[in-house]
């Protein structure tokens, strides 16, 4: 049977000289005091730097605000969880019994933290250039698919700014229902806007996504889509 760390190395495109770092990066805090939180802290900083540097070179005409929005799009938890699932990191995670029972191996926040922790572990196991090369390889298709059109503000921000310009009350978001098990929930949100007779609805795998969907529906109803 293939060693798990060896299989992980193939998924990451990186072979650890110190397998203990990889093991620590995959150990969730539910396992105890020896966990990946410090590596996550380190990896988060490296990820932000590497992506910022890549965007700076890729978009020489972009303004600071545009670069910030592009970076936020790439380093947010949802994107990191997608990368983790592409590499099937869930099967390598070390979780406490409670997280195992609740499906923590598939929880977006845990997967995203593990990716950041692995970035920190690769940096400590090698050097910044090697770490940079791996991060950019994981992000290659996402960076290639980016345009400055992706710097458009999110629906909640656009809705708030539109209502402020109209001197109208700000929107209110109401959680209506949550369905599914803890590891695969669907959130249902209604957005209340004083200028609209009916509440706008949204749903998604997190409350944040559902709120954005409901805000987008409100913008459409107001005829304020960009």
Distances (CA, A) of 148 to 61, 123, 141, 152: 10, 30, 16, 8
Catalytic residue, from 23, 116, 190, 211: name it: 116
Active site residue 53: no
Active site residue 198: no
Catalytic residue, from 40, 44, 99, 211: name it: 44
Name which of 131, 120, 125, 93 is nearest 109 in CA terms: 93
Sorted by sequence, the CB contacts under 8 Å of residue 132 that are 6+ apart come out as: 50, 53
CA distance from start to end of the chain: 54
The per-residue DSSP string of 13-40 comes to T---SSHHHHHHHTB-GGG-SSSSHHHH
Name which of 202, 196, 198 is nearest 215 in CA terms: 202
Integer Cα distance of 6 and 52 in angstroms: 31
SS3 content of the chain, % helix, strand, coil (to 5): 60, 10, 30
Residues assigned a catalytic role = 44, 116
């Amino acid at each position: 049977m293939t060693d798990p760390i060896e299989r992980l190395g193939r998924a990451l495109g990186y072979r650890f000289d110190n397998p203990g770092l990889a093991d620590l990066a995959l150990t969730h805090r539910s396992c105890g005091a020896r966990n990946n939180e410090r590596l996550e802290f380190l990896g988060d900083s490296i990820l932000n730097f590497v992506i910022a540097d890549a965007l700076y070179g890729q978009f020489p005409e972009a303004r600071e605000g545009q670069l910030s929005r592009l970076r936020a799009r790439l380093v947010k938890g949802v994107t990191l969880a997608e990368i983790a699932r592409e590499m099937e990191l869930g099967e390598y995670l070390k979780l406490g019994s409670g997280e195992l029972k609740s499906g923590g191996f598939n929880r977006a926040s845990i997967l995203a933290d593990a990716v950041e922790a692995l970035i920190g572990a690769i940096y400590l196991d090698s050097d910044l250039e090697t770490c940079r090369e791996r991060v950019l390889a994981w992000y290659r298709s996402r960076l290639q698919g980016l345009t400055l059109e992706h710097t458009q503000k999110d629906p909640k921000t656009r809705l708030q700014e539109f209502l402020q310009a109209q001197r109208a009350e700000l929107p209110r978001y109401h959680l209506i229902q949550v369905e599914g098990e803890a590891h695969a929930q669907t959130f249902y949100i209604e957005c209340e806007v004083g200028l609209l007779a009916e509440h706008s609805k949204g749903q998604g795998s997190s409350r944040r996504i559902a709120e954005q969907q409901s805000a987008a529906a409100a913008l459409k109803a107001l005829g304020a889509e960009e």
